Amino acid sequence: MEMTSMSGLDLAKRTIQVHAVGADGAVIFRRKVSSGKLLQFLASIEPCTVAMEACAGSHHWGREIAKLGHEVKLIAPIYVKPFVKRQKNDAADAEAICEAALRPTMRFVALKSAAK
């Protein structure tokens, strides 16, 4: 498998859509992964940047994914919306998240700690 540079995750309750691109921006894979197997799947790929839309659950996932050695970036949903190229679905959202995270001027949300 090629080296993954960036992965975009569209989080949902049961299935999570993963969109991964290489350093040149070419798509490496698009996959649906169950939420129970996400960490196992991410542990099997080389450490890369993992981007997600910021929401309540993304902070929990972000902390768990960071423990695997990946760099986690959270993006406000309002900044992802302009990058959706076709109808709104999980695969298109994951691709848009990945595309938005690759922008050099993108603003990211800080990952919250577990302590309240």
For 53-111, the pLDDT digits (tens) are: 999 899 999 999 999 999 999 999 999 999 998 888 899 999 999 999 999 999 999 99
| Domain extent listing, the chain | 6-101
Pick the CATH number of 6-101 from 3.30.420.40, 3.20.20.60, 3.40.50.360, 1.10.10.10: 3.30.420.40
Q: Residue for token digits 């800080």?
A: 110
> How sure is the predictor about 1, in pLDDT bands with cuts at 50, 70 and 90?
low
Per-residue pLDDT, 23: 87
pTM of the predicted protein model:
0.90
The SS3 call for residue 7 is strand
As a whole number of angstroms, the distance between CA 1 and CA 84 comes to 26
